[in-house]
Amino acid sequence: MTHVTTHVPVLLQEIIQATQGIPTIEKMFDGTFGRGGHCRALMEAYPQARVLAFDRDVEAVQFGNTNLIDKIKGGFLEIIHSDYRDFRSDQWGLFDFILLDLGVSSPQLDEAPRGFSFYHDGPLDMRMDTSQGITAAELLNELREEELIRIFQELGEIRRPYRVVRALIHDRSEKKWESTKQLAGLIERVDGWSVKGHHPATQYFMALRMAVNSELEGVHKGVRQCLAGLKDGGRLAVITFHSLEDRIVKQIFKGEVSGFCFNKKVIQATEEEVKMNSRARSAKLRIFQKGRPLENEFKKFHKKFRQSDIDS
């Protein structure tokens, strides 16, 4: 039996709310299409809008072209295999609403050949765009000890990755790193299970994935590109799942003079959403609006969100 994984979009209601009050919605850009959950809901809310979507994973683009395009009646959707950091407003024009929902999708995590998961044995690949770039195996087999330590400390926020890194370097002289189970097994052996239900390899895998796909660099560049692509009065909504990504988004928004941070405090999933979708637990949403606020529109928007989201 084939196992088909779906992706449940996080903060979906909040994303639709984030579009309310934008003067007109004629053009939207979804820079991280995934399985199109947000995209579809946005198109249903604004059937007259033209939508451009990017994903750097060719499987996501194929999925959208096969399953979504025909189902969106009357709407206009174009899905392109591209990286949102390469989005350019001089090529695509200006947009009323832009969404970036960062990180990986559930199908990417669940498909063993993609190499993202320690639960399924597969090659240590972890590239979102499998047509280019270096794999996790190449990083593990080639980087120096201090470079691996830096990746695990900075991206995985692991305080003491030393023993695991030493074991990685030792073992690779006998057998190259190839599979996810091989790596997960080593981490289990060296670090052991300290928190029940939390696999000791979780942070190591996340750090490797972020390094393989240069995700932080993507946020630095891509968020700025997207801000440049907003119409006056348009909004950019960014959902992050990692504290470093959220910090970058927050700093870029705060330092940007062409508009203002729409939500004063970061927006997070409700308890009900987290109960239904545990991925939502670490999701953080920030919204930026180009131009100056209209007093009434600003107040109306803030009424819709929970008080705790907007108190500074």
Ligand X SMILES: C[S@@+](CC[C@H](N)C(=O)[O-])C[C@H]1O[C@@H](n2cnc3c(N)ncnc32)[C@H](O)[C@@H]1O
Angle at CA of residue 21, ends 18 and 27, nearest 5°: 75
- Cα 121 to Cα 58: distance, rounded to the nearest angstrom: 22
Give the nearest distance from C-beta 86 to ligand X in angstroms.
8
Give the nearest distance from C-beta 51 to ligand X in angstroms.
13
Q: Counting contacts by CB under 6 A, is residue 54 touching ligand X?
A: yes
Q: Which is nearer to ligand X, 233 or 277 (CB)?
A: 277
Calculate the CA dihedral of residues 275, 279, 281, 286 and round it to 10 degrees.
Answer: -130
* Exposure of 93 in the CB half-sphere (CA atoms within 13 A): 10
Angle at CA of residue 181, ends 178 and 183, nearest 5°: 65
Select from 65-73, 83-91, 196-204, 242-250 the region that touches ligand X (CB under 6 A): 83-91
Q: Counting contacts by CB under 6 A, is residue 115 touching ligand X?
A: no
Q: Counting contacts by CB under 6 A, is residue 128 touching ligand X?
A: yes
Q: Counting contacts by CB under 6 A, is residue 209 touching ligand X?
A: no
Q: Which is nearer to ligand X, 21 or 36 (CB)?
A: 36
Q: Which is nearer to ligand X, 7 or 231 (CB)?
A: 7
Q: Counting contacts by CB under 6 A, is residue 273 touching ligand X?
A: no
Which positions from 2 to 31 touch ligand X by CB under 6 A, shown as an x/- string?
Answer: -----x-x---------------------x
Q: Which is nearer to ligand X, 186 or 227 (CB)?
A: 227
Q: Which of 14, 21, 22, 32 binds ligand X (CB under 6 A)?
A: 32
- For 234-300, the DSSP string reads EEEEEEESSHHHHHHHHHHHHH-TTEEESSSS-EE--HHHHHH-GGGGG-EEEEEEESPPPHHHHHH
Angle at CA of residue 38, ends 46 and 217, nearest 5°: 120
- Cα 271 to Cα 276: distance, rounded to the nearest angstrom: 9
Q: Which residue is nearest to ligand X (CB)?
A: 34
Q: Who's near 199: CB < 8 A, 6+ residues apart? A: 118, 119, 184, 188, 193
Q: Counting contacts by CB under 6 A, is residue 87 touching ligand X?
A: no
Binding residues (CB under 6 A) for ligand X: these are 7, 9, 31-32, 34-38, 54-57, 60, 83-85, 101, 103-105, 128, 218, 222
